[in-house]
């Protein structure tokens, strides 16, 4: 059985990643969507990425309907390892990004049925399934995970409302990566203790 990896999204300061870098977290997410309260500058994202790389971790840049030029400039200036598209980007747009030396993830909003993803699959490393909501980014809510039963094990990323309370249920559907943000925060900052509890639950599954 494959092991589920962990992404902590919405890192917004050097202090946050310094406090978390020693934990078994596989990916740290930097958000570049201007409307997000967790949006970071390119300069800060480079500093976060440098810290992540110094301990063998990877960083994910989250974009919402950004231009190709904007994404390419951000990759060049920050050294991020993954581009996550969280907007209405087309499969053709994903195709233009495929030659870049980064992994590509595409977010698909879900509520009561799985979205149509087939035309994107040749160009992306993973589809990321997140709860459909009012916000452009994550909404902190879980969709009906029963819908995941039809997916191939370990071929998708699961986001949206995953917490220490329900991560064991989420892991039953065998996501390749669990993506968390607000559910591991206290006072709008990442909580090391909540993340440690989440990691403990994931490790129970990964044994």
Q: What is the pLDDT of residue 147?
A: 80
Is residue 138 a part of any domain in this protein?
yes
Buried b (16+ CB within 10 A) or exposed e, 69-92: eebbebbeebbbbbbbbbeebeee
Q: What is the pLDDT of residue 41?
A: 98
Is residue 207 a part of any domain in this protein?
no
DSSP state of 149: G
CB-neighbour burial class of residue 163 (10 A; exposed 0-12, middle 13-18, buried 19+): middle
Is residue 125 a part of any domain in this protein?
yes
Is residue 13 a part of any domain in this protein?
yes
CATH number of the domain that 41 lies in? 3.20.20.70
Q: Specify the higher pLDDT residue, 109 or 132.
A: 109
CB-neighbour burial class of residue 126 (10 A; exposed 0-12, middle 13-18, buried 19+): buried
Is residue 91 a part of any domain in this protein?
yes
Please, which residues bridge with residue 106 across strands? Answer: 85, 127
Q: How many angstroms separate the CA atoms of 96 and 106, rounded?
A: 13
Q: How many domains does the chain have?
A: 1
Is residue 60 a part of any domain in this protein?
yes
CB-neighbour burial class of residue 40 (10 A; exposed 0-12, middle 13-18, buried 19+): buried
Q: How many angstroms separate the CA atoms of 133 and 139, rounded?
A: 6
Q: Which domain holds residue 105?
A: 5-202
Is residue 47 a part of any domain in this protein?
yes
Is residue 48 a part of any domain in this protein?
yes
pLDDT digits (tens, 9 = 90+) for 17-75: 999 999 999 999 999 999 999 999 999 999 999 999 999 999 999 999 999 999 999 99
Strands (E), 24-180: 27-31, 58-63, 82-85, 103-110, 126-131, 157-159, 177-180
pLDDT digits (tens, 9 = 90+) for 150-202: 776 558 999 988 999 999 999 988 899 999 998 999 988 999 999 999 999 99
């Amino acid at each position: 059985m494959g092991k589920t990896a962990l992404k902590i999204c919405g890192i917004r300061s050097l202090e946050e990643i310094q406090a978390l870098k020693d934990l078994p977290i596989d990916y740290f997410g930097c958000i570049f969507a201007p409307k997000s309260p967790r949006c970071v500058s390119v300069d800060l994202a480079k500093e976060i990425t440098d810290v992540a790389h110094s301990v063998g971790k990877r960083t994910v840049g989250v974009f919402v309907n950004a231009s190709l030029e904007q994404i390419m400039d951000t990759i060049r200036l920050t050294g991020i390892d993954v581009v996550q598209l969280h907007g209405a980007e087309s499969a053709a747009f994903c195709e233009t990004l495929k030659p870049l030396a980064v992994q590509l993830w595409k977010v698909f909003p879900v509520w009561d049925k799985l979205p149509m993803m087939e035309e994107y699959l040749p160009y992306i490393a993973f589809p990321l399934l997140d709860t459909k909501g009012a916000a452009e980014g994550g909404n902190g809510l879980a969709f009906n995970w029963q819908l995941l039963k039809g997916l191939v094990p370990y071929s998708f990323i699961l986001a949206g409302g995953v917490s220490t309370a329900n991560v064991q249920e989420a892991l039953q559907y065998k996501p390749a990566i669990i993506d968390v943000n607000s559910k591991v925060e206290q006072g709008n900052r990442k909580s090391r203790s909540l993340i440690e509890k989440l990691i403990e639950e994931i490790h129970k599954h990964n044994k």
